[in-house]
Chains A and B, each alone.
Chain A
Amino acid sequence: MSRGEAIGLMLAIIVVAVAAVLPLILDGYWLSVALTAMMYVALATSWTLFSGPTRYLSLATGAFFGIGGYLVGLGMSDYGLSFWLMAAIAPVVATALALLIGLATLRLSGVYFVIFTLGLAEMIRNLVSWIQNNFLGSRGLYVLTDFTDADIYWMLLAVSVAIFALGWWINRSRLGFALRIIGSDEEVAKHVGIDTAWSKVVLFMVTGFFAALIGALVAPRYSYIEPNVVFSPELSFIVVVMALLGGIHRLWGPLVGVIPFTLIWEGITISFPNYTTLFLGFSFLLIVYFLPHGVVGLMQSLVRRVGR
């Protein structure tokens, strides 16, 4: 292990340790803010595993997240199944769906892929609502568990650590290198022997898996699950904005974006609840215009300038 890696590992251990003791210090409102932030850390980091190197912006996060929450609700509420069983099934279902979507869409490039994932997420939301309202009797589903906010927070922390470990491993692997080449020039990628379609599908499945797992673990927080709410398109956009704000060229980039954005978002939701969408759109514009490489990219170019 090189010096830089050793320092990085030490820092990571310290950050995880601090994150792990937060629920013992925080309570009530601030614990719930920390929980939200942890959820977005996990979502934005796993989103970046795929969209960072390939530059295929996926707006399907809400759909996968929704599948997690919805299946947990459906299984517990209507079929009396256990939370853990449903939390295990949901990511598998989402992974299979990601495989199908991937095979169908990853031939699309650029903006067509973005639009498709957005449309697909909306379609799934409406389809599930329709089935729920017309065939499955109840309009909403209850997820009743003994989990406290702290329990959910710790579960999400464990998932985040797993995502970081996987991301670190992928970045060092041939697969990670292949994704960077795909993001750089897909035509060249094919001609150096990379199965571009399969590489993209595999990573898309990974992000689908984690988004559904996170959705399932967070479900007990809401207690009452309604398809229209849990398949939130807004969530897909928030994840993209947070990841872009932090920077998608480093594994820990999204983490840097999530924390400030969650705090501001919470503030706006409380003080100006009618302006959240406006704020989201406005931040998106600002990031694209002024921070194309995120906060991390900005810091790196500042460091480089000082170094010169």
Chain B
Amino acid sequence: MTSQSVPILIVETLTKRFGGLIAVDQMSFDVREHEVMGIIGPNGSGKSTTMNLISGALKATSGTIRLKERELTAMPAHKIARLGIARTFQLVRVLPDLTAIENVVAGAAFAHKPRWGAEARAFAVALLERLDLGGKQDLPVGSLTYIDQKRLELARALASEPEVLLLDEWLAGLNPSELKIGIDLIASLRDEGRTVILVEHVMDAIRSLCDRCVVMNSGRKIAEGTPAAVLSDREVIRAYLGDG
């Protein structure tokens, strides 16, 4: 289904330098509507930096990022969020002073499709139930388990009804049974027709969830294609396992 879809997010020759270190080097790829696109690669290959550049947490040194017709490259994070890019963080970031439902309303109130008041609460309740957090809405977030905090962060991101959802190692740190739940959850997001960029180390998740993926190594794109194709690519194997 994806090959006919139009690109919604287009990244061209994106580069990020930290002093002498080039964390992201001339990256180009696009993400099509309704697809789950994976970004994989060894540790330190620039995946999270790429995500941070797209969400506006970091500013690109050069290159462009476009969402449909709008150029996002120089925009501050809050404007990018309002245009419809939502994210979760590599290390889960829930709002500790707020209740679970307030965390979700936080995602809905200011972003892409703003909701407020009773409407926002009703929407947040529905999302919490959708993510199996029903009945936990008034709990302080500190009392939630790790996977529930991850779910809550995902609910917050979904609350803005994003055009593109960025999941930065959302599955990291889950135990095997939680991992199964997590993969099923992301699969259900794909079935709803959402557009997702997934940075992930869990190869099972990449295989079962991604329509396409790009592989990064030392800041550069070394392969792009279906998970099966890229994971059997010689250069990709060398990047992960070294010369053998």
Which residue numbers of A lie inside 8 Å of B, CB to CB? 174, 177-178, 180-181, 183-185, 187-196
Chain B hits for A178, CB < 8 A: 109-110
Asked if B147 lies at the interface with its beta carbon under 8 angstroms from chain A, I say: no
- The answer to whether A192 touches B98 (Cβ under 8 A) is no
Query: Which of B56, B98, B112, B160 is close to A190, meaning CB atoms less than 8 Å apart?
Result: B56
C-alpha spacing A176/B160, complex, angstroms:
19
C-alpha spacing A195/B95, complex, angstroms:
17
Chain B hits for A181, CB < 8 A: 95, 98, 106
Chain A hits for B190, CB < 8 A: none
From A249, which residue of chain B is reached at the shortest CB distance?
B97
Interface of chain A, main secondary structure: helix
Within B103-124, the residues touching A (CB, 8 Å) are 105-107, 109-112, 114, 116
C-alpha spacing A179/B77, complex, angstroms:
17
Asked if B173 lies at the interface with its beta carbon under 8 angstroms from chain A, I say: no
Chain A hits for B105, CB < 8 A: 177
- The answer to whether A193 touches B57 (Cβ under 8 A) is no
From B77, which residue of chain A is reached at the shortest CB distance?
A190
Give the number of residue pairs across the A-B interface with Cβ within 8 Å: 67
- The answer to whether A191 touches B97 (Cβ under 8 A) is no
Known: A177-B109, A183-B97, A185-B93. 12 other contacts (CB 8 A): A174-B116, A177-B106, A180-B97, A185-B96, A188-B89, A190-B76, A191-B55, A192-B86, A192-B110, A192-B111, A192-B160, A193-B82
Asked if B78 lies at the interface with its beta carbon under 8 angstroms from chain A, I say: yes
Query: Which of B82, B95, B109 is close to A185, meaning CB atoms less than 8 Å apart?
Result: B95
C-alpha spacing A190/B93, complex, angstroms:
13
B158 to chain A, nearest CB (A): 12
- The answer to whether B93 touches A194 (Cβ under 8 A) is no
C-alpha spacing A191/B160, complex, angstroms:
11
A149 to chain B, nearest CB (A): 41
Asked if B81 lies at the interface with its beta carbon under 8 angstroms from chain A, I say: yes
- The answer to whether B93 touches A196 (Cβ under 8 A) is no
Q: List 21 A-B contacts (CB under 8 A).
A: A174-B109, A174-B110, A178-B110, A181-B95, A185-B93, A185-B95, A187-B57, A188-B89, A190-B56, A190-B77, A191-B55, A191-B86, A192-B78, A192-B81, A192-B86, A192-B111, A193-B78, A193-B114, A195-B76, A195-B78, A196-B78
A32 to chain B, nearest CB (A): 39
C-alpha spacing A156/B37, complex, angstroms:
61
**Top 3 A-B pairs, shortest CB-CB distance:** A193-B111, A193-B110, A193-B81
Q: Looking at chain B, what size class is its interface with the partner chain? A: 20 to 34
From B108, which residue of chain A is reached at the shortest CB distance?
A192
Asked if B156 lies at the interface with its beta carbon under 8 angstroms from chain A, I say: yes
Chain B hits for A194, CB < 8 A: 78, 110
- The answer to whether A192 touches B107 (Cβ under 8 A) is yes
Chain B hits for A184, CB < 8 A: 95-98
Counting chain A CB atoms within 10 Å of each CB, which of B96, B110, B112, B116 scores highest? B110
Chain A hits for B86, CB < 8 A: 191-192
Asked if B221 lies at the interface with its beta carbon under 8 angstroms from chain A, I say: no
From B87, which residue of chain A is reached at the shortest CB distance?
A191
From B83, which residue of chain A is reached at the shortest CB distance?
A193
Query: Which of B93, B96, B116 is close to A187, meaning CB atoms less than 8 Å apart?
Result: B93
- The answer to whether A188 touches B95 (Cβ under 8 A) is yes
Query: Which of A174, A185, A189, A193 is close to B112, meaning CB atoms less than 8 Å apart?
Result: A193
- The answer to whether A190 touches B95 (Cβ under 8 A) is no
B8 to chain A, nearest CB (A): 19
- The answer to whether A180 touches B110 (Cβ under 8 A) is no
C-alpha spacing A222/B88, complex, angstroms:
56
From A181, which residue of chain B is reached at the shortest CB distance?
B106
- The answer to whether B106 touches A190 (Cβ under 8 A) is no
C-alpha spacing A200/B95, complex, angstroms:
18
From B96, which residue of chain A is reached at the shortest CB distance?
A184
B20 to chain A, nearest CB (A): 26
Q: Report if A191-B95 is in contact (Cβ < 8 Å); known contacts: A174-B109, A177-B109, A181-B106.
A: no
Chain B hits for A174, CB < 8 A: 109-110, 116
C-alpha spacing A174/B160, complex, angstroms:
15
Chain A hits for B114, CB < 8 A: 193
Q: Report if A188-B93 is in contact (Cβ < 8 Å); known contacts: A178-B110, A193-B112, A193-B160.
A: yes
From B85, which residue of chain A is reached at the shortest CB distance?
A191
Chain A hits for B102, CB < 8 A: 177
C-alpha spacing A188/B106, complex, angstroms:
9
C-alpha spacing A12/B50, complex, angstroms:
53
C-alpha spacing A236/B176, complex, angstroms:
55
C-alpha spacing A190/B59, complex, angstroms:
14
From B156, which residue of chain A is reached at the shortest CB distance?
A192
B117 to chain A, nearest CB (A): 9
Counting chain B CB atoms within 10 Å of each CB, which of A180, A193, A194, A195 scores highest? A193
C-alpha spacing A180/B102, complex, angstroms:
10
Chain A hits for B89, CB < 8 A: 187-188
Chain B hits for A177, CB < 8 A: 102, 105-106, 109
Chain B hits for A180, CB < 8 A: 97-98
